[in-house]
Amino acid sequence: MRHNIKLRVLLLLGLVFIGSCASEKTLKFTEFHMGTFVEITIMYPDKKVGGELVQQAFNMVGRIDSLMNVYSEKSEVSILNRQGRINASRETAEVILRSIEFSRLSAGAFDVTIRPLANLWRMAKQNKKLPEKADLERARRLVNYHDIVINQAEISLKRKGMQVDLGGIAKGYAIDKAIDVLRKGGIKRALVNGGGDIYALGKGPRRGKWRIGIQHPRRDDSFLAILSLRDRAVATSGDYQRYFTLEGKRYSHIINPKTGRPVQDIPMSVTVIAPDCTTADALATAVFVLGPERGLKLIEDMQDVEGLVVSADGKAYVSSGMKDILVGEIHRDFRIVSR
């Protein structure tokens, strides 16, 4: 999994913790999972029962992490990468199936077989030296989601040296599963935030929607925009966290599967709102790779999905339904060129 959060999506705490119903308590819990802090806020009358339900949700996130953490030798993903074949759990098989779905939707912009390239660029960052062209091409040829074979619970990789990395989708999936646990336990109002991937369940504190701020990609003390959400998920990918500089150039941690190189310059930040966090997480990465115009088209072609893309030249690309989600205007540093 990713060791750092993709970006800072900040919950507006001052709005969240006031105005709640007198019979309900606002309860907040935090644990460290999947390389980030996972925060669960619930509105529930009984602290003891609510805390027990939240712990069950955290346990679910921990289970997903144990199955899909590419940095753990015992995870199913690591075993698959070493052996090229595995009889997978239902959860791992489901995430890989969803990953292939998003790969097809994005024409390969999202591809969980990206691991060989990710490893190469990780070494480049450590060694402070760009990869050799031959090594880059060799790794790029191993990246192809079409070479994942699924036969019921058995998952295999067609080519020797192929590896998968579910870091671009597993956290969103874990948040969805945590929400499922809370729902089944009778919790109707909650917010789960996994390092910037967020699901807002039910009504917010003022019996309205939850308000969530998106970090400005260049100003630590400012929001890019404020969103109003209910029963929806949001995820953001940005170039301002986990970037690195080599030979005077700034490189994003997000790699284009087609070129084999990190995405550079455009866009700076991509925010996707979707019915579930799995979708929002995967599409945020896909749109970042596709760029503003192609990425926005992908968003517009999908049902119940909205998005905001800002680029280094100060432009903001906004999907047609974002007007119902944005609270006020986006930051003055950006001007809207598409809506």
Closest CA to 7 of 308, 334, 235, 314: 235
What is the tally of helices (H) and strands (E) in the chain?
9, 17
User: Does the pLDDT of residue 51 top 80, yes or no?
Assistant: yes
Q: Would 270 be classed as within a structural domain?
A: yes
50 lies in the same domain as 192? yes
For range 57-65, the mean pLDDT = 99
87 lies in the same domain as 198? no
Q: Would 210 be classed as within a structural domain?
A: yes
Which SS3 state, helix, strand or coil, does residue 213 take? strand
Which contacts of 256-260 are long-range, i.e. CB under 8 A and separated by 24 or more positions?
A: 256/109, 256/289, 257/108, 257/109, 257/110, 257/111, 257/113, 257/114, 257/117, 257/140, 257/143, 257/289, 258/108, 258/109, 259/140, 260/117, 260/136, 260/137, 260/139, 260/140, 260/143
CA separation for the pair 114, 109 (Å, rounded): 10
User: Does the pLDDT of residue 17 top 70, yes or no?
Assistant: no
Angle at CA 289, nearest 5°, toward 285 and 291? Answer: 115
Confidence at 292, pLDDT banded by 50, 70, 90:
very high
User: Does the pLDDT of residue 27 top 80, yes or no?
Assistant: yes
Pick the residue with more confidence: 339 or 202? Answer: 202
Token couple for 222? 């400012």
Q: Would 269 be classed as within a structural domain?
A: yes
61 lies in the same domain as 104? no
Which of 130, 157, 184 represents a domain boundary (last residue)? 157
115 lies in the same domain as 192? no
For range 262-284, the mean pLDDT = 92
pLDDT value of residue 200: 98
Residue carrying the six token digits 């080519």: 159
189 lies in the same domain as 119? no
40 lies in the same domain as 76? no
For range 294-298, the mean pLDDT = 96
Confidence at 7, pLDDT banded by 50, 70, 90:
very low
The residue type of 103 is S
Q: Would 2 be classed as within a structural domain?
A: no
For range 182-206, the mean pLDDT = 94
H or E segment and range at residue 215: strand 210-215
User: Does the pLDDT of residue 18 top 50, yes or no?
Assistant: no
pLDDT value of residue 143: 98
pLDDT value of residue 207: 66
pLDDT value of residue 312: 87
Q: Would 28 be classed as within a structural domain?
A: yes
What residues make up the domain containing 333? 9-67+169-338
For range 79-106, the mean pLDDT = 98
238 lies in the same domain as 99? no
Confidence at 1, pLDDT banded by 50, 70, 90:
very low
Token couple for 310? 């800002």
Question: How many domains does the chain fold into?
Answer: 2
117 lies in the same domain as 180? no
Which SS3 state, helix, strand or coil, does residue 29 take? strand
Give the CATH number, domain containing residue 199. 3.10.520.10
CA separation for the pair 97, 84 (Å, rounded): 17
182 lies in the same domain as 260? yes
